[in-house]
Structure 1
């Protein structure tokens, strides 16, 4: 039986998130006996590289207000280059400087993240809801938890990002927040920490003073109307983790020193299910 606490940390791709502070904090927690899996995105680097390579970027907004990246073949190539070739190596090098033996992986490696392609996706375009069918994004179906558990047992830190892989070997973009939630569920993690470029979940996204200490989410349906863009997706990921049995989910400020410790000390927003929502055993 596992003795150490296990925490899944999602390091946001927002340029404001202090990756050095995250890595230093993760290293200190590992030395104190906490097991950690680090999941990362890389939106800022994806956008920088796409601009450099002249690959247009488009965003889909679903009817309930959740924004996701439109992923065609060129964008998928840019995403893979940015995450696997830039963001991840930088994180691994930072961790190494803190004495952490990190193993960088995408969902393709060791069939870590299995997904199926979305055949159609609803999006609002010019005020009309349309079906988009040429999007190389997927729905995460399974996590190779045995592979992650083996790495943790060897005192290695998995550093994980999209893309995921299908049964036929096709690479697909999947949301990194939902990847972190799925990994937390698969490993029966004690806590999922979602670090972002804001103090936590805010009732008004433009006003830091409106941060919620606790945010209730419904067991199904759309996120609250005030949750926009990436924060809406974080709340969806938080809900999936809670329904899957993860005891605690925190959305916290990735711009501060010791951001993970602060989150574990409830400095941020704790996301909880509404009281009538039963958690899976």
Structure 2
């Protein structure tokens, strides 16, 4: 009987410091020894398309200190168009160029990702709490992975992105890092590799060398680390890392997505390894 190859979930960040072409080339090479699921964001593509279409984008900071996009109906349309029409085709065709058959999916396809809508979100504006209504943002409640299992068994590389499917039957925006963490946990991945525009988790934004390891404290909400300024999207990456680790993923890495061989370099020790300060497995 042929041994099942280990599974790696790779998250390609959406900012300008990430090289999606290089990530695809490395993910394609990794398929010689591993099964791979590629999750992608699309912040830069979404903001560019929003500017082109004249759709305002609003960002806020939650009461727990996490920066988030306020997704109204128009913003969700733009995000979906950017993911499905711009980012995903680039990744799928690039993988095909390297001889790897890829299938592009959103969380809507096959009911892959289910989400609960955050109907009322609290943001901190000028030091005061403000209630945001009418948003289409939410959190993942369930991963229905049967479709992914079938694709992986057939030799395909799934390429996954938001949005997810809400309980009301309409799309819901969910954070792509947390999508990657949820998929890694559900699929029992060997490793989750979060690729970003930074070389890893930095103690200070101006640093050039990443911390080799960080220990996440127990609890929920925003992640705070002694002596580390967790800013921007890194906070959500660490939340996603915590969720994956709690779900049983043994190895979670945060590394640079703009270098040569980014996935294999991370697996070989580049970037930051994320662990739980008090290991726990909830799934």
Same fold (TM over 0.5): yes
SS in 2 for 1:256: coil
Moved more, 239-248 or 225-234: 225-234
The aligned residue for residue 157 of structure 1 is: 157
Given that 1:65 and 1:229 are in contact with CA atoms closer than 8 Å, whether structure 2 keeps it comes out as: no
Moved more, 233-242 or 55-64: 55-64
CA distance in 1, matches of 2:86, 2:35: 25
SS in 2 for 1:208: coil
The aligned residue for residue 236 of structure 2 is: 233
The aligned residue for residue 42 of structure 2 is: 42
The Cα of 1:264 is off from its aligned counterpart by 0.5
CA distance in 2, matches of 1:265, 1:194: 14
The Cα of 1:76 is off from its aligned counterpart by 0.3
Given that 2:119 and 2:136 are in contact with CA atoms closer than 8 Å, whether structure 1 keeps it comes out as: no
Q: CA RMSD in A?
A: 1.3
CA distance in 2, matches of 1:245, 1:261: 21
Residues 132-152 of structure 1, C-alpha deviations (whole Å, 9 max, x = no match): 222110110111111100000
Structure 1 alignment gaps of length 5 or more: none
Given that 1:65 and 1:228 are in contact with CA atoms closer than 8 Å, whether structure 2 keeps it comes out as: no
Match status 1:178 vs 2:178 = yes
Task: Give the count of matched residue pairs.
Answer: 278
Given that 1:218 and 1:277 are in contact with CA atoms closer than 8 Å, whether structure 2 keeps it comes out as: no
Match status 1:86 vs 2:89 = no
Match status 1:278 vs 2:277 = no
The aligned residue for residue 269 of structure 2 is: 266
The aligned residue for residue 191 of structure 1 is: 191
The Cα of 1:64 is off from its aligned counterpart by 2.6
Structure 2 alignment gaps of length 5 or more: none
Given that 2:252 and 2:275 are in contact with CA atoms closer than 8 Å, whether structure 1 keeps it comes out as: yes
Moved more, 61-70 or 147-156: 61-70
CA distance in 1, matches of 2:147, 2:59: 33
Residues 189-230 of structure 1, C-alpha deviations (whole Å, 9 max, x = no match): 000000000000001022223x21001112313311611120
Matches within 5 A, 1:200-215: 200-209=200-209, 211-215=210-214
Moved more, 112-121 or 249-258: 112-121
Given that 1:6 and 1:34 are in contact with CA atoms closer than 8 Å, whether structure 2 keeps it comes out as: yes
Given that 1:252 and 1:269 are in contact with CA atoms closer than 8 Å, whether structure 2 keeps it comes out as: yes
CA distance in 2, matches of 1:29, 1:145: 22
Structure 1 length-normalised TM: 0.96
SS in 2 for 1:124: strand
Given that 1:117 and 1:138 are in contact with CA atoms closer than 8 Å, whether structure 2 keeps it comes out as: yes
